[in-house]
Amino acid sequence: MSKRTAASPVTIATEPPARGTTVIEVRDIGKRYGNIIALSDVSTSVRAGEVTCVLGDNGAGKSTFIKILSGAHEHTDGELVIDGEPTTLSSPRAALELGIATVYQDLAVVPLMPVWRNFFLGSELTRGFGPFKKLDVETMKRISKSELGAMGIDLRDVEQPIGTLSGGERQCVAIARAVYFGARVLILDEPTAALGVKQSGVVLKYIAKARERGLGVVFITHNPHHAYPVGDRFMLLRRGKSMGDFPKQQMTLEELTSMMAGGAELESLAHELEETMGSDSELAKSLKAEVQ
Amino acid sequence: MATATVGDERIARTSTVTKLMKRPEIGALAAAVVIFIFFAVTTDAFATASGASTWLRGASTIGIMAVAVALLMIGGEFDLSAGAITGFSGLVVGVLTTEYGLNIWAAILVSLVLCLAIGAINGILVMRTGLPSFIVTLGTFFVLQGIDLAGTKTLIGQVAIQGMSNVPFYDQAKKVFGSSLDINGSEPGGAIYASVFWWIGLTAVATWVLLRTRTGNWIFSVGGQQTAARQVGVPVFKTKVGLFMTTAGAGWLVGMLLLFTTSTVQSNTGVGQEFIYIICAVVGGCLMTGGYGSAIGAAFGALIYGMVNQGIVYSGWDNNWLKAFLGVMLLGAVLLNEWVRKRAETAR
């Protein structure tokens, strides 16, 4: 990684910190848009070599939370502490300079371009100088192949258009790229949302891989079954408020699922269904079974 | 091309031929060869030195524009003013020198600056408004056409430049843009015009830029997926405006080549050619939707145009068949390109 000689728009000199070090600490953070409170009193931490899962249903405030971490929006309440210093991220670039990279759902890849060109897009390596500066194709191909290999993506040919890869693999290329260009913290915005079961598994594997490499990962999802196997810490959001921040030891998958679904709400829904559809109704029965 | 990466046993060794077959320009190359053989066999004059001289010259000016338009199309945009600007640039030089006595090199420079400015305006308008370049450049096309016709008539009272060869230092400029190299010895004909060398040079530079420089990578990306390109830090605005300026710059060059080869220029020069450039680029493998294509392919496209244009004359057919032929070529190429794109985008 020391060979990062590219005229890269973002260069981060720092190596990943020791495992377990807190990189980002979020204290009672909140965001107001005028008189609308989109997010309030959210606290959690992101540590090197750990996966912090942010769970919540649609409209729970997950996007607002990512936007604060990735620098797209500034927070209005609470504190965002990065490397021990209270910080306000004014732009995505500022976040990138601190080593916080966001991989969005709609992946920044160009389908018709080869994998290696996509990998280095915007930060191409060059050789020579002046008007004869040309792409260092060999090096870029080699690095993209080995970096993808390190993430466990074994491509036959980095010359193939990235559009020929599956959704999961493309997601992984985007992750590997963020890692190579110096990310210490990866924010993954619903990386498994649009994927099938098998593809989701692939992405989860790479999340675990990124954690192994000592990166802090923020994994945003609405699926507790995806979050639980890879997560070290779970922060649940509902209606713009935090329902708590739990280390894995304090949480079972069942508890997580039931909190996610809103256990109490489900119970009352089961009762309601029982009354309106009769206690014999299949739906009411199954719902009741699930709540208990 | 040999790669330094470790060999992978899952990839069968692909021969150079197989690799060539995957290039976007391969269809145009094959078509060019077939057309050359056809006219070489069926007509007497086609494959002679003087015949080749004629169709190469025809192909060269179209080719220079087609290569620039191909870059622009790979970048995801169109330029309908590309034809009219070839007339505009020549008229500026003609009017400034013959009517106002400006030094010929100064006039050439003024013309270049004006053309680049028009390209920049095209680019900035497209990028700032978010309107399709089709509409924006259709506007500039009509504006330029109006200026070419009405402006010239107002300033010099006629619709063609005359007396160009009497301008001081005309010979100097003619050496650069309008001279020719006779390769046929004492036989008549067989001159290779300067425009042919410019065409080959420009094609080589464009191909190199496209495949081997950062700028080339950016051109593919802004045409392929603009938002993604922006997200990873590609200067989208600069790249696109630069492409429009390149097209306008090529228009200036072609204007100079036409002016100094024929020593005159008409008010309507270039009008109607803009679609020919696009056809050549598409025949050369450019996708209408951007993000894919080749500069050398566009040069082959222009070569096809030049050969058919002249071959029809030598065959003694009605010249208007050229139009029908171009239409068929365009449709065939679009279908082929679309098939290639689908294959490239779906999993193997």
CATH classification at residue B243: 1.10.3470
**For B108-148, what is each residue's pLDDT tens digit?**
999 999 999 999 999 999 999 999 999 999 999 999 999 99
Q: What is the predicted pLDDT for the residue at B16?
A: 67
Minimum-distance CB partner of A156 among B8, B217, B292: B8
Chain A residues whose CB is inside 8 A of the B345 CB are 111-112, 161, 163-164
**What pLDDT does residue A1 have?**
34
Residues in Cβ contact with B118 at an 8 Å cutoff, skipping those fewer than 6 apart = B81, B85, B88, B140, B144, B248
Residues of A in contact with B3 (CB under 8 A): 138, 141
Contact B199, B68 (CB under 8 A): no
Q: What pLDDT is recorded for position B347?
A: 45
Q: β-pairing, A233-238 with B180-182?
A: unpaired
Does residue B292 belong to the interface with chain A, where contact is any CB pair within 8 Å? Answer: yes
Q: Is B217 on the interface with A (CB under 8 A)?
A: yes
Domain membership of residue B186 (yes or no) is: no
- Cβ of residue B291 closer than 8 Å to a chain A Cβ: yes
State the residue range of the domain holding B204.
24-179+193-342
How far apart CA A227 and CA A203 sit, in angstroms, is 12
> Residue A161: which of B212, B213, B345 has the nearest Cβ?
B345
User: Distance, in angstroms, between A145 CA and closest chain B CA?
Assistant: 8
CB distance B221–A107 less than 8 Å? no
What integer pLDDT is reported at residue B229 of this predicted model? 85
**Which residue of A108, A112, A135 is in closest CB contact with B291?**
A112
Q: Is A86 on the interface with B (CB under 8 A)?
A: no
Could you tell me if residue B52 is inside a domain?
yes
Q: What is the pLDDT of residue B179?
A: 84
Whether the pLDDT of residue B20 is over 80: the answer is no
Look at residue B263 and give its three-state secondary structure.
Answer: coil
Of A114, A147, A106, A121, the C-alpha closest to A3 is: A147
Residue B29: inside a domain, yes or no? yes
Instruction: Collapse the DSSP code of A36 into the 3-class scheme (helix H, G, I; strand E, B; otherwise coil) and give the result.
Output: strand
Is A106 in Cβ contact with B8 (below 8 Å)? Answer: no
For residue range B275-296, list pLDDT tens digits in order. 999 999 999 999 988 999 999 9
Q: A111 CB near a chain B CB, below 8 Å?
A: yes
**Distance (Å) from the alpha carbon of A285 to chain B's nearest alpha carbon:** 44
Q: Is the ipTM of this complex over 0.85?
A: no
pTM attached to this predicted model: 0.80
pLDDT of residue A6: 37
Q: What is the largest CA-CA distance in chain A?
A: 80
Give B37-70 pLDDT, tens digit per residue. 999 999 988 888 888 888 999 999 999 999 999 9
- Whether B19 has a pLDDT exceeding 70, the answer reads no
Residue A68 in tokens? 């604060």
Q: What percent of chain B has pLDDT over 70?
A: 91
Per-residue model confidence (pLDDT) at position B133:
94
Q: Does A9 touch chain B (CB under 8 A)?
A: yes
Residue B267 has pLDDT above 60, yes or no: yes
Give residue A27's Cα distance to chain centre: 19
User: Does B4 contact A138 at a Cβ distance shorter than 8 Å?
Assistant: yes
CB contacts of B220 in chain A (<8 Å) are: 110, 112-113, 117
| Chain B residues inside the 8 Å CB shell of A6 | none
Q: Which residues pair with B160 in a beta bridge?
A: B266
Structure tokens at A212: 């192994």
Residue B18 in domain: no
Q: What is the pLDDT of residue B47?
A: 87
CB A46 within 8 A of CB A185: yes
The pairing of beta strand A233-238 with beta strand A134-135: unpaired
Encode pLDDT of B302-319 as tens digits: 999 999 999 998 988 888
Which of A9, A122, A161 is the closest to B344 by Cβ? A161
pLDDT of residue B255: 94
* Torsion B331-B332-B335-B341 (CA) sign: negative
Q: How far is B169 from chain A (nearest CA, A)?
A: 31
- Alpha carbons B32 and B305: distance in angstroms, whole number: 9
B212, A137: Cβ pair inside 8 Å? yes
Tens place of pLDDT per residue across chain A (292 aa): 333 333 344 444 445 567 778 889 888 888 888 888 888 888 898 999 899 999 888 778 888 888 888 888 888 888 899 888 888 888 777 888 888 888 876 667 888 889 999 899 888 888 888 777 888 888 999 999 888 887 777 777 888 888 888 777 888 888 888 888 878 898 988 888 777 777 788 788 888 888 888 889 999 888 888 888 888 989 888 888 888 888 888 878 888 887 777 655 666 666 777 777 666 667 666 766 665 5
Q: What is the pLDDT of residue A256?
A: 80
Tell me, rounded to whole angstroms, the distance of Cα A261 from its chain centroid: 21
Q: Which of B5, B8, B224 sits opposite A110 (nearest CB)?
A: B224
Rg (CA), chain A: 21
> CA of A213, closest CA in chain B: separation in Å?
23
Range of A177-181, B232-236, B253-257 with top mean pLDDT: B253-257
Domain count, chain B: 1
B221 touches chain A (CB under 8 A): yes
User: Using 50, 70 and 90 to split pLDDT, how confident is the model at B104?
Assistant: very high
Tell me what pLDDT residue B164 has.
86
Q: Residue B183 has what pLDDT? A: 74
Residues of B within 8 A of A122 (CB-CB) are 221, 229, 232-234
Percent of chain A as helix, strand, coil, to the nearest 5: 40, 25, 35
Give the pLDDT band of residue B4 (cuts 50, 70, 90): very low
Is domain A22-260 in CATH 3.40.50.300, yes or no?
yes
What is the pLDDT, as a whole number, of residue A291?
59
pLDDT at B348 over 70: no
Interface check for A109 against chain B (CB to CB < 8 A): the answer is yes
Residues of B in contact with A137 (CB under 8 A): 1, 212
**Burial bucket for residue B41 (CB in 10 Å: 0-12, 13-18, 19+):** exposed
Name the closest residue on chain A to residue B340, using Cα atoms.
A112
Helix axes B104-129, B236-262, angle to 10 degrees: 150
Give the torsion sign (CA, B334, B67, B18, B328).
Answer: positive
| Mean pLDDT of all residues in B67-95 | 95
Q: Looking at the complex, does the CB of residue B8 fall below 8 Å from at least one CB of chain A?
A: yes
Report which residue type is found at B296. I
Q: How confident is the model at residue B2 (pLDDT cuts 50, 70, 90)?
A: very low
Question: How many angstroms away from the CA of A85 is the closest CA of chain B?
Answer: 27
What was the pLDDT predicted at A263?
58
Domain ranges for chain A:
22-260, 262-292
